[in-house]
Amino acid sequence: MQDEAVVLAQDLTKHYRVALKEESLLGTLRHFLFRQYRLVRAVEGVSFAIRRGEVVGFLGPNGAGKTTTLKMLTGLIHPTRGKALVGGHVPWRREKAFLKKITLVMGNKQQLIWDLPAMDTFRLNAAIYEIPEAEFRRRVGELAEMLGLVGKLHQPVRKLSLGERMKAELLAALLHRPEVLFLDEPTLGLDVNAQVAVRDFVRAYNARYGATVLLTSHYMADIAALADRVLVIHQGRLLYDGELTGLTARFAPYREVRLVLARPLPQEALAPFGEVREVEGREARLLIPRDGLTERVALMLKRLPVEDLEVKEPPLEEVIARVFQSPKEVGG
Ligand SMILES: Nc1ncnc2c1ncn2[C@@H]1O[C@H](COP(=O)(O)OP(=O)(O)OP(=O)(O)O)[C@@H](O)[C@H]1O
């Protein structure tokens, strides 16, 4: 199993030492003389393996340790403890062959030069990655086509829309045709159409080149659309590694049932069938445990004046919120 892993993390750990500083003048003086530190356990003993061609979502609330993990896997920072192998390389050695295999895209950072056309930055990247001219042209053409950027690459970057800029960032980051993509919030701040376009592109790129993708996003729709498997991190620790559907089953072992009744009923009449979340006129919303769902639904149809009934998965956002409320689970 592990020999086909293209990204491997073993007990990966990063602690930051942050200097404590008091606000007062005396505090500043004390700070210089007897500096005190606080330890931030940004990432603590994280282990996982990602196979070639997999698209894995990396979920966690703010400050959970996602960016720190990506920084270690791309070799931007050294871990405090633990091992990592990406494409067979130790990331923090930053070997040239390693850098040619990976890319890191951060939604809140840009590499394109603001006042120059995106094409100029692409040329710079082509020189750094030693891409021959003909191949360079072919790749720019192909990626621009996939991203819907044809005709947008010769005007200054500042004249592009936010969505176009993000797409051009992706193009710049993929020119050297990396095997492993680390995408940190690639759809941050984009409108819904641009989010979908970026998402579709990542899927198409993965399918065409068999690239491996590790992706963080605050938009659950991104994760749901792209990733079959998710890693969930909370307070630096890995809570869950497994299928997205398994996440719902494990952390939200219930379904949402929406009812339309022939006539309004009081809450007490519905309570025996599940946890009543909402009653409004003839409509009601209940949470019912997955175990025994069929029996309860059958009973409702028999005993209540049901006109319409719908069984739904709880929203992913709600599931994730539950995960972070109960940070003790581990598994996959
Ligand atoms: N250079 C640093 N020095 C000190 N502490 C840091 C540093 N970088 C990150 N941290 C801390 O490490 C923890 C993890 O941060 P990280 O940026 O990895 O989280 P994240 O999951 O990416 O969060 P977000 O979704 O907000 O980007 C946080 O408590 C953060 O404040």
The pTM of this model reads: 0.83
Mutate which of 66, 72, 183 to test ligand 1's pocket (most atoms within 8 Å of Cβ)?
A: 66
Mutate which of 68, 72, 320 to test ligand 1's pocket (most atoms within 8 Å of Cβ)?
A: 68
Which residue's alpha carbon is at the smallest distance from atom 31 of ligand 1?
63
First to last CA, the chain: 16
Q: Which amino acid type is present at position 288? A: I
- Which of 331, 103, 275, 273 is CA-nearest to residue 202? 103
Q: Residue 118: in which H helix or E strand, if any? A: helix 118-128
What is the chain's Cα-based Rg?
25
**Sheet with 229-234, side-by-side order of all strands:** 102-106, 180-184, 212-216, 55-59, 229-234, 237-243
Rounded Cα–Cα distance for residues 146 and 144 (Å): 5
Rounded Cα–Cα distance for residues 8 and 69 (Å): 12
* DSSP helix/strand/coil, 33: helix
Given the candidates 1.10.10, 3.30.2420, 3.30.1490, 3.30.70, the CATH classification of the domain at 254-312 is 3.30.70
The structure tokens listed for 294 are 């069929």
Q: Which amino acid type is present at position 262? A: A
Domain boundaries, the chain: 2-11+50-248, 254-312
* DSSP helix/strand/coil, 276: strand
Q: CATH class for domain 2-11+50-248?
A: alpha beta
Burial tier of 320 (Cβ tally within 10 Å: 0-12, 13-18, 19+):
buried
Task: Please tell me the distance between residue 101's alpha carbon and the centre of ligand 1 in angstroms.
Answer: 25
For the complex shown, is ipTM > 0.85? yes
Rounded Cα–Cα distance for residues 123 and 143 (Å): 14
Which residue's alpha carbon is at the smallest distance from atom 26 of ligand 1?
62
CA of 218, closest atom in ligand 1: 25
Q: Write the CA distances from 33 to 22, 37, 163, 280, integer angstroms.
A: 13, 13, 49, 65
CA of 14, closest atom in ligand 1: 12
Q: Could you report the per-residue pLDDT of 45-83, keeping only the tens digit for each?
A: 999 999 999 999 999 888 899 999 999 999 999 999 999
Which residue's alpha carbon is at the smallest distance from atom 5 of ligand 1?
16
Rounded Cα–Cα distance for residues 319 and 251 (Å): 6
Task: Please tell me the distance between residue 115's alpha carbon and the centre of ligand 1 in angstroms.
Answer: 31
CA of 65, closest atom in ligand 1: 18
Mutate which of 40, 183, 187, 223 to test ligand 1's pocket (most atoms within 8 Å of Cβ)?
A: 40
The structure tokens listed for 192 are 């819904």
Indicate if the alpha-carbon torsion angle 149, 97, 52, 216 is positive or negative. Answer: negative
* Residues linked to residue 106 through DSSP beta bridges, in sequence order: 184
Report residues whose beta carbon is within 6 angstroms of any ligand 1 atom: 16, 18, 40, 42, 60, 62-68
* DSSP helix/strand/coil, 8: strand
Task: Please tell me the distance between residue 312's alpha carbon and the centre of ligand 1 in angstroms.
Answer: 35
Cα dihedral 134, 136, 141, 147 in deg (nearest 10): 170
pLDDT in tens, the chain (332 residues): 445 799 999 999 999 998 877 777 777 777 777 778 889 999 999 999 999 999 999 998 888 999 999 999 999 999 999 999 999 999 999 999 999 999 999 998 999 999 999 999 999 999 999 999 999 999 999 999 999 999 999 999 999 999 999 999 999 999 999 999 999 999 998 999 999 999 999 999 999 999 999 999 888 888 989 998 999 999 999 999 999 888 877 777 888 999 999 999 999 999 999 989 899 999 999 989 888 899 999 999 999 999 999 998 877 777 777 777 765 544 44
